[in-house]
Structure 1
Amino acid sequence: MDIKVGNIIKLKKQHPCGNYEWEVLRVGADFRLKCMGCGHQIMVPRKNVEKNIRGIR
């Protein structure tokens, strides 16, 4: 997958705040993602993100 810092990705499952879209802040073995709804940041393994992705903007 060609995911870069600054991309907005849409995941299959929604965040508890109700939003599906995340901004990519860091790329590597793990992704740092920021929720576009509430601003919460998480670190997720690359494998999980690539499996659950629906679209890239």
Structure 2
Amino acid sequence: MPLDYEPGHVPTYRAQVIMCAHHSALFRFEDGRCIEGPCAGAKLDAVAVWLDAQSNVVAHCGGA
């Protein structure tokens, strides 16, 4: 399931962890491990990211 509610905008909680917009599960940035929520202990798949010219984090996650 994608983490974003609006395509391309993955929420964070207090800029400390990634938050799933669908289930409010919380994931650590450093290793993608779920630390709270319905998937506790599970892990996200890693994707390459980079900063664009405006310092936004950009990721290509497949698809069209």
Task: Give the TM-score of the pair, scaled to structure 1.
Answer: 0.32
Q: Indicate the structure whose relative CO is greater, using CA pairs within 8 Å and at least 6 residues apart.
A: 1
> Which structure: greater helix fraction?
1
**Higher strand proportion (structure 1 or 2):** 1
